[in-house]
Amino acid sequence: MGDFRRSVVYQIYVRSFFDTDGDGVGDLRGVTAKLDYLHELGVDYLWLTPFFRSPQRDGGYDVADYRAIDPLYGSMDDFDELVAEAGRRGIGIMLDMVFNHTSTDHEWFRRALAGEEKYRDYYFFREGKPDGGAPTNWQSKFGGSAWEYVPQLGMYYLHLFDRTQADLNWENPEVRRELCDVVRFWMGRGVKGFRFDVVNLISKGAFEDDPDPDGDGRMFYTDGPRVHEFLRELNRESFGRDPEIVTVGEMSSTSMENCFLYAGEDSGELSMVFSFHHLKVDFVGNEKWVIVPTDFARLKSLLFGWQKGMAEHGAWNAVFWCNHDQPRVVSRFGDEGEYWRESAKMLAAVIHGLRGTPYIYQGEEIGMTNAGFTRLDQYRDVESLNHFKILRDRGLNEESVYNILKVHSRDNGRTPVQWDGGKNGGFTAGEPWIEVNPNSRIINAKTQLRDSGSVFSFYRELVRLRKRYDVFAYGDFEPLTPEHPHVIAYRRCWNGETLYCINNFFRAETVWRCPEGERLDGCRVLLSNYPSVQPACEWTLRPYESAILLKC
């Protein structure tokens, strides 16, 4: 742990990480059991997805009690043991705080429904339009209206996500005080970091209809009018009291200009931000439930634009491909067949060489692939199940809908970690809550720990290089050959060290030429995904070839 710019964060989707009690669901003791593996990888922080008490309608992102651990995942004693054992290995625990909304099972919401005015003001209850319809035409991100009618109150409440996830009213100072108390509670138990879920949606603007016929209302609540004020207050009253606490905000459909403030060095808000624009390059606009080719030129433009813009404004990125809401990157942008290993390593190099703190999502370090589900009963994700119906109602046939789910479903990233080639991939002795990918016989951690050429070994070396060479943490960023149709290449410089990261993003050979004025003479190959790499100013890159070079 220490300077977050030199650190690497590993995300754990607890439900799918490792099960110790045979109930088919991962648990906190399962994380503790694998700490030596994570220490071997070299990571500094473990971001745990929510394990708080919840009805589990949305995988724990529907929190019913911010201070209680759901028995599904263990006990407070289990959590305390995890914090202590991780700390002994120099690893800090980062919690996922879902502060935009609570579960409708939360005591606050239940008391609101019971008629307590104090708690009704914790949420957004509104009367309908004169015709009885919803207060606005805003749409839930999980499909359908963002408003749910409560007959006994004769009012609607706002839910930007599932109807069982009611949005909190941050305009109410009592709500903000409650949430600051929650952060301080977990700091008192030794937590070293916080990830704030969709935190740029907490400030709502005017409750008006979206004038765009295709709009969903996000213009009224994304990066809302008081969001920076709210985050500065949260910082000041909770985690900002300990300068060693690391924070990251998930920013939904944000703007770079707002992120200059969210993650600015002196803005008093957050340490860093997740932005998702680079992961919409296989969408149509903001619509992901389609199948279109990846727009590589746009991907590169977005990566490079955010790198340059954030650096110029002294702001910090969290850099990543995968999380619990994304499909597996090797399936998405790489290759599941002949070049699986090479493409998985190339994708890792692209991210870990960038300016920002790298995040590894569980299983990414062994090249796990998409689930490949072919039946609806294999899916568990509420968003995917909702959109199966929505897409069928739009007239798509079942085959087309299944093809879309195979590409974009969040369940692709939620299948259990593949620890070995045995039954259930070594994840559980019981019946797993979601099926294990059958390729666990081939892709698993046990096999890769013994293989110096494995995807795991490549990730471990990337983590080691970040700690050894300051240029990874502190170097500037300069794109190279941004117009090249197949290559992502960039240069970073710091204190006499120059790092080059050169990557063929495709499965065909391509020729890459150094920009005028650049010389690779004297460069040392720090890491590559092919043997016998010979850097040259005119370089024929093999399929998915990647190399990180250093000149001192």
Distances (CA, A) of 376 to 7, 331, 386, 417: 39, 20, 11, 21
**What residue type is assigned to position 457 of the chain?**
S
- Find the farthest-apart pair of alpha carbons in the chain and give their distance in angstroms, rounded: 75
| Strand ranges for 219-282 from DSSP E | 246-250, 272-274
Length of the chain (residues): 552
Q: Is 436 in a helix, a strand, or coil?
A: coil
At a CB cut-off of 8 Å and minimum separation 6, what does 428 contact?
19, 22, 23, 24, 25, 26, 416
- What are the beta bridge partners of residue 504? 487
Alpha carbon distance 544, 507 (integer Å) = 6
**What residue type is assigned to position 508 of the chain?**
A
Contact between 500 and 548 under an 8 Å Cβ cutoff? The reply is: yes
Q: Distance from CA of residue 376 to its chain's centroid? A: 25
- Residue 503 gets which letter from DSSP? E
| Helix (H), strand (E) at residue 9 | strand 9-12
Catalytic residue among 62, 78, 148, 197: 197
109 phi and psi angles, rounded to 5 deg: -70, -40
Q: Residue 290 corresponds to which tokens in the numbers above?
A: 């389609």
Alpha carbon distance 32, 23 (integer Å) = 17
Q: What angle do CA 122, 126, 131 make, to 5 degrees?
A: 165
Catalytic residue among 250, 342, 364, 411: 250
- CA-wise closest residue to 320 among 311, 312, 333, 329: 329
- Residue 57 gets which letter from DSSP? T
CA dihedral 507, 510, 515, 519 (to 10 degrees): 90
Angle between helices 340-352 and 455-468 (to 10 degrees): 20
Runs of H (alpha helix) within 56-192: 76-88, 107-113, 117-120, 173-187
343: left (phi over 0), alpha (psi -120 to 50) or beta: alpha
Q: Residue 31 corresponds to which tokens in the numbers above?
A: 């994380």
Alpha carbon distance 285, 475 (integer Å) = 33
Q: Is 250 among the residues known to form the active site?
A: yes
Contact between 486 and 504 under an 8 Å Cβ cutoff? The reply is: yes
Catalytically annotated residues: 197, 250
